[in-house]
Amino acid sequence: MLIILNPAATTEQIESLNHTVRNMGFLPHVIAGTDRTAIAVVGDTKKLDESYITRLDGVDSTQPTSQPYKLVSRDVKPQTTVVDLGTARVGDGSLCVIAGPCSVETRKQVLATARHVKKCGAHALRGGAFKPRTSPYEFQGLREQALELLAEARAETGLPIVTEVKDTETLPLVARYADVLQIGARNMQNYSLLERVGDLRLPVMLKRGLSSTLKEWLMAAEYIVARGNNNVILCERGIRTFETETRNTLDLGIIPLLRERTHLPVIVDPSHGTGYASGVTPLARAAAAVGVDGVMVEVHPEPAKALSDGPQALTFSMFETMMRDMRRISGLMGQAI
């Protein structure tokens, strides 16, 4: 249930309402919007006495929340959440471009890529340090050494770092370096990891699970926000379908619906969404035309030599072309880039 506050409600009244809600055995979450403040009451609210709540000081009205996800629902907060990455913002109406290698492999590789994507206008650098690979025999990432290299690239270029956290054991280490914690598709329903990142205030990029529905994805995001971390970005990265020629099927059809259902910012990853380099720029353009808060793509100086995801990596010149195209589409859409 949503308690809509009177625009004139005082801090004391809000505190007292929170107290009342807690005493009734529910969890209150204050959601401050630009033109209204609301308290989302989470729990089995069927037992709540609505008429009693409506009579309390500072309350304007109550509203049931129709979806199983509450705090991430657009019902609760009409404005899109803006996630601050330090030098860039996701969800403020602009198009944020995140680019970099699938995995950090060498100092030379990550620094050259960071410099190039920065020069072309990217807003953040991606790079995997801990890689969740399908096979245990494949490259697992340079781990802490990779985090140090990413930090060096950040110090030089000013680009904030997006890197994946694979498990709760390595979370404290990854959180010391990352500006955005990426939760990979394979971990979307790793609830203990979701809760632990929910306890932090670092931005989290939650990728859609390999075969997750919109509802499952938003419920996973709810785990993070329910622990108090509102800085969640959703990333559509393709889902499993019957098609085997592409790595995944990029589900752009979900984007307008996500926009209606959630206030969380949404980005698209056409690299994992297609699995082949020549498909990345066309799908990045399509994502920008559908209307997203950002795109994330993989870029490598020598894709043929990449230790992971080489077939889908853009070369430097392909990335330059992609950025030129993104500027054209975002211009058409009236979106800053």
Chain residues that interact with ligand PEP, rule: CB under 6 A: 102, 128, 132, 184-186, 207, 237, 272
The secondary structure of 111-166, three-state, reads: HHHHHHHHHHCCCEEECECCCCCCCCCCCCCCCHHHHHHHHHHHHHHCCCEEEECC
CB of 253 to ligand PEP, least distance (A): 18
DSSP sequence for 250-317: --GGGHHHHHHHB-S-EEE-HHHHH-SHHHHHHHHHHHHHH--SEEEEEB-SSGGG-SS-GGGPBPHH
Q: Which single residue brings its beta carbon nearest to Mn ion? A: 102
CB of 265 to ligand PEP, least distance (A): 17
The set of residues, in sequence order, having a beta carbon less than 8 Å from that of 233 and lying 6+ positions away, is: 83, 90, 91, 180, 203, 204, 205, 206, 264, 265, 266, 267, 293, 294
75 lies in the site for Mn ion, by CB under 5 A: no
CB contact burial 198-207 (16+ within 10 A = b; e otherwise): bebeebbbbb
List the single partner that 121 binds among Mn ion, ligand PEP, none, CB under 5 to 8 Å by kind.
none
Q: Which is nearer to Mn ion, 104 or 219 (CB)?
A: 104
CB of 305 to Mn ion, least distance (A): 15
Question: Tokens 């994330």 sit at which residue?
Answer: 296
The set of residues, in sequence order, having a beta carbon less than 8 Å from that of 306 and lying 6+ positions away, is: 101, 102, 103, 105, 300, 313
102 lies in the site for Mn ion, by CB under 5 A: yes
List the single partner that 209 binds among ligand PEP, Mn ion, none, CB under 5 to 8 Å by kind.
none
The set of residues, in sequence order, having a beta carbon less than 8 Å from that of 154 and lying 6+ positions away, is: 114, 125, 160, 161, 179
List the single partner that 207 binds among ligand PEP, Mn ion, none, CB under 5 to 8 Å by kind.
ligand PEP
269 lies in the site for Mn ion, by CB under 5 A: no
The radius of gyration of the chain from alpha carbons, rounded to an integer in Å, stands at 21
Longest dimension (CA), the chain: 67
Interaction pattern, residues 306-325, with Mn ion; x per rule: CB under 5 A? ---x----------------
CB of 102 to ligand PEP, least distance (A): 5
| Token code pair at residue 311 | 């077939």
CB of 128 to ligand PEP, least distance (A): 5
CB of 179 to ligand PEP, least distance (A): 15
List the single partner that 184 binds among Mn ion, ligand PEP, none, CB under 5 to 8 Å by kind.
ligand PEP
List the single partner that 237 binds among ligand PEP, Mn ion, none, CB under 5 to 8 Å by kind.
ligand PEP
List the single partner that 247 binds among ligand PEP, Mn ion, none, CB under 5 to 8 Å by kind.
none
105 lies in the site for Mn ion, by CB under 5 A: no
Q: Which is nearer to ligand PEP, 184 or 301 (CB)?
A: 184
Segment near Mn ion (CB under 5 A); pick from 40-48, 85-93, 223-231, 301-309: 301-309
CB of 146 to ligand PEP, least distance (A): 12
**Cα 14 to Cα 11: distance, rounded to the nearest angstrom:** 5
Ramachandran region, residue 292 (left: φ > 0; alpha: ψ -120 to 50; beta: rest): beta
List the single partner that 311 binds among ligand PEP, Mn ion, none, CB under 5 to 8 Å by kind.
none
Q: Which is nearer to ligand PEP, 31 or 147 (CB)?
A: 147
CB of 100 to Mn ion, least distance (A): 10
**How many other CB atoms are there within 10 angstroms of residue 304's CB atom?**
9
Q: Which is nearer to ligand PEP, 62 or 281 (CB)?
A: 281
| Token code pair at residue 239 | 């889902």
- Return residues touching Mn ion (CB under 5 A): 102, 309
